[in-house]
Amino acid sequence: MSELVSAVRVTPVAFRDLPLLNSVGVHEPFALRTVVEVVTEGGHHGLGETYGDEPHLRRIERAASALIGTDVFDLHGMQRRVIASLAEDTSTGGHGMAGMVTTSSTSDRVLSPFEVAALDLQGKITGRPVSDLLGGAVRDEVSFTGYLFYKWASHPGHDEDEWGAALDPDGLVRQATKMISEYGFSSIKLKGGVFPPDQEVAAIRALRQAFPDTPLRLDPNAVWTVPTSIKVGQELEGVLEYLEDPTAGIPGMGEVAREVPMPLATNMCVVAFDHLKPAVQQEAVGVVLSDHHFWGGLRRSQSLAAVCDTFGLGLSMHSNSHLGISLAAMVHLAAATPNLDYTCDTHWPWKRPEDDVIVPGELAFANGAVKVPTKPGLGIELDRDALARMHQQYLDSGIRNRDDTGYMRSIDPAWKAPLW
């Protein structure tokens, strides 16, 4: 049985984002994503989602043309075609998460949405959910973390929102209380690297006091020096389940890891397969945050999980601002990854429910978790009207011709956290 690709549709979209702060600035009023729809000669449709910045979009379009005629069951052939489509690519830039010291593989980033769409197709053709194609679900729901951000109440260009400001410990406790009461999360991550470290330590202590039994994480996106990271790590002994990317680079993380009591996690210094060997040799990280968008799709993320298992590394999951196609893919992957030791990140609460390209209702949060879809493929359905509306929003948003991460460049050039 073969099922050949007859068309690939690539649609960039934009959705409203909030004035969330991180070490490089303020989230833009719109987050950009790209929806990939792979159509087969048999009339089946498969969905994938990826970053929306301009250089990445151009590469996605080039790969899309190269995939016409591929059998959707031939994932290795698909990978070869994606790599070949990039051979002549001399463009620079594109999604790389600001502050990341080592870059994930371009071909893995480009392959990912097509691999997810191919698995969605394989599932639809065979009548099995994607989690079955990945070895079978070992859990029937996937738990996520409440992902807190320092946040301005409002900012020019952003719509009014119901979350208010969170610029101090009280504001963050309020934010966490609202997020937990609405979604039921049972763990919390704070995106730090925004204010001086002692203020962020105070925020974590306030969260600990307000939520005594809830696992906590802090992620300053590698803007601290090695001595600062060690100091913070030691101060937060017994408080954090892990400290994520306190400092830049594998050697620096190794120095910190030797001096702090909790595991160090990363989605910044181990972001491709060739980073694993030095990270293991230097004992630099205890937990890797996988992310199928840059590790090359769901099956390559499972390979990462196997390496983590082999070397005794913990496994968690990273997110950026994302839509429902990505959430579905994350849920299937998490369901079929036995050694996923931690609840997964998600930016989902920061997106308005109506801002999505999938038919609502398929992916609901209850008690901080999403049930693993059991319908064939990813188990979600594209809402074409919503896709058209969000594509128009992309065209109108005025932030598409850009070369960075597509959603979190500072709109205030003066905003840039120093290296503490």
318 a catalytic residue? yes
Inter-residue contact 141 to 371 (CB < 8 Å)? yes
Contacts of 232 (CB under 8 A, 6+ apart): 197, 200, 201, 218, 224, 243, 246
Active-site residue, selected from the candidate residues 44, 151, 158, 191: 191
Active-site residue, selected from the candidate residues 27, 275, 318, 322: 318
Residue 369: which H helix or E strand, with range? strand 369-371
- Measured at CB, which residue is nearest to ligand GLR? 22
Query: Least Å distance between CB 31 and ligand GLR?
Result: 9
Contacts of 175 (CB under 8 A, 6+ apart): 148, 149, 151, 163, 164, 166
Does 221 participate in binding ligand GLR (rule CB under 6 A)? yes
**Angle 155-159-163 (CA atoms, 0-180°, nearest 5)?**
80
> Quick one: which of 56, 95, 109, 318 contacts ligand GLR (CB under 6 A)?
318
Helices (H), 237-275: 250-259
Inter-residue contact 240 to 250 (CB < 8 Å)? no
> Quick one: which of 40, 50, 320, 343 contacts ligand GLR (CB under 6 A)?
320
Does 346 participate in binding ligand GLR (rule CB under 6 A)? no
Per-residue contact flags (x/-) with ligand GLR for residues 97 to 126, judged by CB under 6 A: x-----------------------------
Does 337 participate in binding ligand GLR (rule CB under 6 A)? no
Number of residues located near ligand GLR, criterion CB under 6 A: 10
Does 53 participate in binding ligand GLR (rule CB under 6 A)? no
Pick between residue 189 and residue 231 the one whose CB is nearest to ligand GLR.
Answer: 189
Q: Length of the chain in residues, anyone?
A: 420
Q: Measured between alpha carbons, how far is 71 from 40 in angstroms, rounded to an integer?
A: 9
> Quick one: which of 56, 151, 191, 275 contacts ligand GLR (CB under 6 A)?
191
Does 343 participate in binding ligand GLR (rule CB under 6 A)? no
391 a catalytic residue? no
Closest CA to 139 of 342, 337, 346: 337
Note the residues at the interface with ligand GLR (CB under 6 A).
22, 97, 191, 219, 221, 267, 318, 320-321, 408
Residues belonging to the active site: 191, 318
